[in-house]
Amino acid sequence: MNTEISYDLVMDGDMAFVEGTYRVPGGEWQVVIVSRYDALEPQVVPQRWESGVSGVLIRFPRVRKLNREAVERELSAALGVAEWVQVRGPDSMRLR
């Protein structure tokens, strides 16, 4: 299953936050936003924005490195996805 992900920002080794979009085969583009929180474990919270677009908010522990691998690992666990293909997709802010 080729699940696509697109990051709005240039990803580095430890991000302050992350925004992007993703889609599963046959599905619509959805939004992912990852923000730092004072939490011990990541929390994935389903979201629906005013535009009607859905996606997830990931509350990510401040004490962990937030990078591409971390985002994809949390999305994989939440969505049951084994592999991600990075593509150029729609900007999350425009989609929301």
Range of the domain at 63: 3-90
SS3 5: strand
Please state the domain count of the chain: 1
Q: Is 96 part of any domain?
A: no
Q: Is 8 part of any domain?
A: yes
Q: Do 19 and 39 touch, CB atoms closer than 8 A? A: no
- pTM, two decimals, is 0.93
Q: Is 62 part of any domain?
A: yes
Task: Give the pLDDT of the chain (96 residues) as one tens digit per residue.
Answer: 589 999 999 999 999 999 999 999 889 999 999 999 998 999 999 999 999 999 999 999 999 999 999 999 999 999 999 899 999 999 999 999
